[in-house]
Structure 1
Amino acid sequence: MKAPRETPSFEGWSALVVHRPHANVDAILQQFERIGIAATHCWPEATHLPDLRDYNVVLIDADMGYDGQFPWEPGKAPMPVIALIGSEAPGRIAWAMGQRADAQLLKPIGSAGLYSALVIACHSFAERGAMTAEIAALRERLESREVLAEATALLMVRDNISARAAYQKLRLAAMSARQPIETAAADLVFSVDVLGKSDERA
């Protein structure tokens, strides 16, 4: 059984609400004030705001929002995203999903709901970031193994030696150069590629 998650502290946080002027915005801003989060409201675009990436969370209008409102690519916001949803039109839901909304609030906005949406959005954003980092690390390891295998094969063919001897030669070269064996392997593969292209031009 997993240990219960800690509820994040929002002390000192700042929020950006990108939504057309509406009573829903007024309700959201009042909730932010009660929670103790400084909130900024803007419409239609947020690209002109200074230090936009310093905001801790952004709330978007899923009903009338569009990609050009933000300085980042769709789905790549550097902070948690909460979608304010009033319309259930498939196209608008798809747009909110394309923005990688981490949580949602349904309109009309009442006097509650923001705090729980913030907690959910924070956890979702953190988990997505951790998963992205893990996938990147796994891909890097896979690429390193592929390069290591390629370098070993090159040494086997070039020096007419066994796979064990080729790996040992590569390992010793890495130790001598005081670098990881993956780096030594990449250097070898790169040098062979460069030589090969030079021979082709000649």
Structure 2
Amino acid sequence: MSRPGRLSLATWRALILHREHPSVEALARQLDLLHMTVEVVWPQIDASHVNADIVFFDADMGHDGQFPWPRGFAPMPMVALIGSEAPGRVEWALAQGSNAHLLKPIGSTGAYSAILIAAHAYQIARSQADDIRVLEDRLRQRPVVVRAILKLLQAEQLDEDGAWKRLRKIAMDWGMTTEETAEAICRDDRRTKTGG
């Protein structure tokens, strides 16, 4: 199993969404030691902050509407700052897309581990979401693939297995996915039927 590369945190911009508090000062000191650029904002993140590399947010006083993206779809890793372990507060933090957490009061350690865990969890979640999107797209294109197979069955007098092999070979020859090739075959079919 390969190890992920080390993050170059010196280029990172960290955003802390929290009211003034000693824990915020402690966290900012830790981030400064990691040579990160730190900005503290409250009560919400606006569009100018969406280029941050990581967001630390207050799970205790946080509320819906503090983020300029849909709930659970943060464009960067998120770390919840948790003081109250009330189930409702923890559930709210998870619903926002928290990838890691730090317990308050924050001392002199913990930020580095939280950043690494959040970044790793965020990358896995993004990769899985991308995989799901690709699979959903392929599933949506299945009817087109079936129509292309039927066209090959009829036009080239092939059996089902032969039509599948032919579709895959055409896709390889054209340098396209099976689904893209099926769409092209079906477009040609529609042009023929409409006299195009």
User: TM tier, shorter chain?
Assistant: 0.7 to 0.9
Shift of 1:64: 1.3
Matched with 1:83 is 80
C-alpha spacing 1:37/1:171, structure 2 compared with 1 (3 Å): closer
Where in structure 2 are the equivalents of 1:84-99 lying within 5 Å?
Answer: 84-99=81-96
**Partner amino acid for 1:93?**
V
Indicate if the aligned counterparts of 1:67 and 1:73 stay in contact, CA closer than 8 A.
Answer: no
Secondary structure in 2 matching 1:77: coil
C-alpha spacing 1:163/1:76, structure 2 compared with 1 (3 Å): same
C-alpha spacing 1:38/1:190, structure 2 compared with 1 (3 Å): same
1:60 pairs with 2:57: yes
* Cα distance in 2 between the residues matched to 1:169 and 1:9: 48
Which residue, 91, 105, 108 being the options, matches 2:105? 108
**Partner amino acid for 2:42?**
W
Matched with 2:19 is 20
* Cα distance in 1 between the residues matched to 2:186 and 2:55: 45
C-alpha spacing 1:43/1:135, structure 2 compared with 1 (3 Å): same
Aligned length: 193
Indicate if the aligned counterparts of 2:54 and 2:78 stay in contact, CA closer than 8 A.
Answer: yes
Matched with 1:200 is none
Matched with 2:9 is 10
Shift of 1:167: 5.9
Unaligned segments of structure 1, at least 5 residues: 194-202
Shift of 1:142: 3.8
- Alignment RMSD (CA, Å): 3.3
Unaligned segments of structure 2, at least 5 residues: 191-196
Shift of 1:138: 3.0
